[in-house]
């Protein structure tokens, strides 16, 4: 379990183990995977087939920008023809109808525009404590959405100066980016 | 373009419907709509199913519902536009009739969200935006996206969490008068304020619930509408627009540009003054997935001045008897938000309002004969607006 990938798989397996064990026992003894609904008592057929989805996402068109994270930089795509900066980066400029982009390193400094604290988490983030997500307007005028590393979110305010960090996220052990107060 | 009438409406009970599967739930609404129109399955030329799916087991809902409802071999397709699926499906049905392709179209919106666990549903809705750049690394949730609008709006205009809760109190009030609504009890500002945060500053009681439900419409061309009813409600105009998938690409977080564009399109086509639309409507629905959504939606739709929307709420001007009755069916907040059914369910209630047959205690006075439906998908990702009228356009 070097990174979040196997860690999360084990966590999710553990989460569903007990309720599925119950259904397994009922199915074995009654012959059918039918259990009473926990809220209403209505008979529920629990799917005996599980679907596991893990997407494989092509990034060839934006690989230079994603790879720049390994150099500690967050990069946007800049159209060599019209100069428009795209973040998130994209391969093609629909304005110029050309695909001639260059790496544009974003300024790591900016100001907080808005934020929230995620208290009720999605399944694949349930292994985390509450986390703060914010949108920061960088000096380049580009908005970036990311976590904000702060001990007490009550200290946050609109316009607060923020600094971008590109590094391995603790516990998850892959490179991403977050903000912390400057 | 032919004019399109709504000649029958039906809606299932919204809620935690462990008693019904997807097709049974759809049929509950379809059957009521057919009865309302005095129509049979044989009258339907083609049908549209609004269903977001993913959390429910059937990947081909239009085919499954077509077989169950005795519509096969008639053609039906699924239309999807996140939480705006309902009005998107209605627009598609409308277009089939307006273009002359069909005379009678069944539109049914249906969602069975409770076939999956709450954490799974939170995950799936959280992915709705830009998956790769905003969910994969940052685990946003649906309330989380809206919470970023709430934070920016409240900081800029001085609205409070109590103001947000007042929207919930109103919508629970009307839900308690709607026997089909998910929530049947009223709440107080204090109860709302003491509910736990789901995505600060949004609390549980600011949030629409995970709901199962269905709603159905029978749409007919002006040529055949008279076969079904003497008092149809007409679809007078449509507006629609999309927002960016990435929230980071939005310029500010105090409103949805997509709602502004969509509503101005619908107003222009209906001859409504965009500077004073309130004067044209007896009743409106504003897409209140969260209480903040109803507040910013009112500003985006031009029903209130930007930054002063919450003051109208505070002064109870959005109740029946106030300046403009908003979400008197209980809204997404109180009636429930079965994604694919939501927009269709809005139309169902507005038709009943305009025909003055809403439930006791929540009938708005009808004098102008026009109503507005506003259905948002995601966080301003899709917006559909429809103007309904008792007068033939």
Q: List the single residue in B120, B134, B199 with the smallest CB-CB distance to A116.
A: B199
Alpha-carbon radius of gyration of chain B: 19
Domain ranges of chain B: 4-116+210-227
Please give the interface size between A and B, counted as residue pairs whose CB atoms are below 8 Å apart: 109
> What number is the average pLDDT over the span B282-294?
98
Q: How far apart are CA A141 and CA A76, in angstroms?
A: 12
CA distance A135 to chain B (A): 7
d(CA B290, CA B181): 16
- Residue B146 contacts residue B294 (beta carbons within 8 Å): no
Residues B45 and B272: beta-carbon distance below 8 Å: no
What's the gap in Å between the CA of B180 and the closest CA on chain A? 18
Domain match, A136 and A159 both? yes
What's the 3-state SS for chain A? CCCHHHHHHHHHHHHHHHHHHHHHHHHHHHCCCEEECCCCCCEEECCCCCCCCCCCCCCHHHHHHHHHHHHCCCEEEEECCCCCEECCCCCCECCCCECCEEEEECCCEEEEEEEEEECCCCHHHCCCCCEEEEEEEECCCCEEEEEECCCCHHHCCCCCEEEEEEEECCCCCCEEEEEEEC
pLDDT at A40: 98
Under the phi-then-psi rule, with left for phi > 0, alpha for psi from -120 to 50, and beta for the rest, what region is A159? left
Contacts of A122 in chain B (CB under 8 A): 119, 122-123, 126-127, 135, 139, 141
Find, among B63, B2, B9, the residue nearest to B39 by Cα.
B9
B12-37 pLDDT, tens digit per residue, is: 999 999 999 999 999 999 999 999 99
CB-nearest partner of A118 from B144, B246, B253:
B144
A21 and A77: one domain? no
Q: Give pLDDT < 50 ranges for chain A.
A: none
Q: What pLDDT is attached to residue A1?
A: 76
The residues, any chain, with a CB within 8 Å of residue B128's CB and separated by 6 or more, are B82, B142, B378, B381
Average pLDDT value for chain A: 97
Measure the CA–CA gap between B186 and B176, rounded to whole angstroms.
Answer: 6
In a domain, A52, yes or no: no
Q: What is the per-residue pLDDT across A99-149, written as a single tens digit (0 to 9) for each?
A: 999 999 999 999 999 999 999 999 999 999 999 999 999 999 999 999 999
Tell me whether residue A68 is in a domain: yes
pLDDT (mean) for B377-387: 98
* A97 lies in some domain: yes
Examine residue A101 and state whether it is found in any structural domain, yes or no.
yes
Domain check: are A112 and A135 in the same one? yes
The pLDDT tens digits of the residues spanning B200-211 come to 999 999 999 999
List, for residues B317-326, the tens digit of each pLDDT value: 999 999 999 9
Residue B38: pLDDT band with limits 50, 70, 90? very high
The verdict on residue A170 lying in a domain is yes
Domain boundaries, position A78 = 57-105
CB A26, CB A35: distance < 8 Å: yes
Residue A149's nearest CA partner among A125, A166, A173 is A166
B-chain residues near A88 (CB < 8 A): 130, 132-133, 246, 248
The CATH classification number of B4-116+210-227 equals: 3.40.47.10
Residue B259 binned pLDDT confidence (cut-offs 50, 70, 90):
very high
Per-residue pLDDT at B306 exceeds 90 = yes
Domain co-membership, A170 together with A144: yes
Token reading at A157: 């305010």
Whether residues A122 and B139 touch (CB distance < 8 A) is answered with yes
Share of chain B above pLDDT 70, in %: 100
A90 contacts B132 by C-beta, under 8 angstroms: no
Evaluate whether residue A50 is within a structural domain: no
Interval B242-256 mean pLDDT: 97
**Percent residues over pLDDT 90 in chain B:** 100
**Angstroms from A29 CA to nearest CA on chain B:** 23
Cβ contacts of B380 on chain A, cutoff 8 Å? none
Q: Are A171 and A120 within one domain?
A: yes
Contact B44, B227 (CB under 8 A): no
pLDDT value for B210: 97
Q: Given B130, B147, B252, which is nearest A116 (Cβ)?
A: B147
B139-164 pLDDT, tens digit each: 999 999 999 999 999 999 999 999 99
Contact A120 B140 (CB under 8 A): no
DSSP H or E run through B267: helix B257-270
Q: Residue B382 is inside which H or E element, if any?
A: strand B382-389
- What's the total number of domains in chain A? 3
B184-196 burial, b if ≥16 CB within 10 A, otherwise e? Answer: eeebebeebeeee
- Is residue A51 a part of any domain in this protein? no
| Segments in B99-208 forming alpha helices (H) | 118-126, 142-157, 161-175, 189-193
Please give the structure tokens belonging to residue A106: 């974003």
With contact defined as beta carbons under 8 Å apart, do A50 and A16 qualify?
no
């Amino acid at each position: 379990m070097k990174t979040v990938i196997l860690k999360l798989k084990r966590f999710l397996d553990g989460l569903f183990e007990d309720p599925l064990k119950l259904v397994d026992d009922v199915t074995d003894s009654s012959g059918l995977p039918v259990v009473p609904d926990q809220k209403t008592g209505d008979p529920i057929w629990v799917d005996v087939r599980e679907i596991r989805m893990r997407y494989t996402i092509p990034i060839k068109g934006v690989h230079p920008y994603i790879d720049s994270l390994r150099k500690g930089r967050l990069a946007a795509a800049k159209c060599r023809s019209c100069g428009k900066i795209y973040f998130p980066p994209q391969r093609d400029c629909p304005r110029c109808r050309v695909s001639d982009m260059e790496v544009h390193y974003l300024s790591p400094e900016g100001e907080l525009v808005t934020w929230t604290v995620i208290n009720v988490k999605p399944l694949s983030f349930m292994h985390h404590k509450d986390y703060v997500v914010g949108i920061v307007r960088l000096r380049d005028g580009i908005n970036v959405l990311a976590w904000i590393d702060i001990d007490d979110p009550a200290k946050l305010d609109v316009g607060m100066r923020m600094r971008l960090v590109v590094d391995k996220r603790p516990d998850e052990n892959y490179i991403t980016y977050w903000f912390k107060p400057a | 373009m032919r004019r399109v009438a709504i000649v029958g409406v039906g809606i299932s009970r919204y809620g935690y419907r462990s008693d019904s599967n997807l097709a049974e739930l759809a049929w509950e609404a379809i059957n009521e709509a057919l009865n309302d129109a005095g129509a049979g399955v044989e009258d339907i030329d083609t049908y549209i199913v609004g269903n977001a799916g993913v959390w429910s087991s059937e990947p081909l809902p239009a085919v499954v519902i077509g077989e169950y409802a005795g519509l096969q071999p008639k053609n039906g397709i699924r239309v999807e536009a996140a939480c705006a699926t309902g009005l998107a499906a209605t627009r598609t049905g409308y277009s089939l009739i307006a273009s002359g392709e069909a005379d009678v179209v069944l539109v049914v919106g249906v969602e069975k969200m409770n076939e999956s666990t709450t954490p799974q549903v939170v995950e799936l809705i959280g992915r709705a935006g830009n998956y790769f750049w905003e969910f994969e690394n940052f685990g946003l949730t649906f309330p989380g996206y809206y919470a970023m609008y709430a934070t920016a709006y409240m900081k800029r205009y001085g609205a409070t969490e109590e103001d947000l809760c007042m929207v919930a109190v109103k919508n629970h009030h009307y839900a308690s008068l709607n026997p089909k609504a998910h929530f049947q009890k009223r709440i107080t500002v204090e109860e709302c304020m003491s509910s736990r945060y789901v995505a600060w500053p949004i609390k549980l009681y600011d949030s629409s619930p995970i709901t199962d439900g269905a709603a159905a419409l029978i749409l007919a061309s002006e040529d055949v509408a008279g076969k079904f009813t003497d008092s149809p409600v007409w679809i007078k105009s449509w507006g629609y627009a999309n927002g960016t998938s990435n929230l980071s690409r939005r310029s500010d977080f105090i409103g949805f540009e997509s709602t502004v564009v969509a509503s101005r399109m619908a107003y222009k086509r209906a001859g409504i003054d965009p500077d004073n639309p309130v004067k044209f409507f007896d009743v409106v629905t504003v897409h209140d997935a969260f209480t903040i959504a109803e507040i910013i939606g009112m500003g985006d739709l031009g029903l209130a001045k930007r930054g002063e929307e919450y003051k109208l709420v505070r002064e109870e001007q959005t109740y029946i008897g106030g300046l403009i009755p908003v979400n008197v069916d209980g809204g997404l907040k109180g009636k429930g938000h079965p994604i694919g059914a939501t927009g269709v369910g809005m139309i169902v209630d507005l038709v009943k309002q305009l025909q003055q047959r809403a439930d006791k205690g929540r009938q708005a006075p009808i004098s102008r004969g026009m109503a507005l439906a506003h259905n948002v998908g995601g966080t301003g990702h899709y917006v559909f607006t429809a103007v309904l009228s008792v007068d033939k356009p």
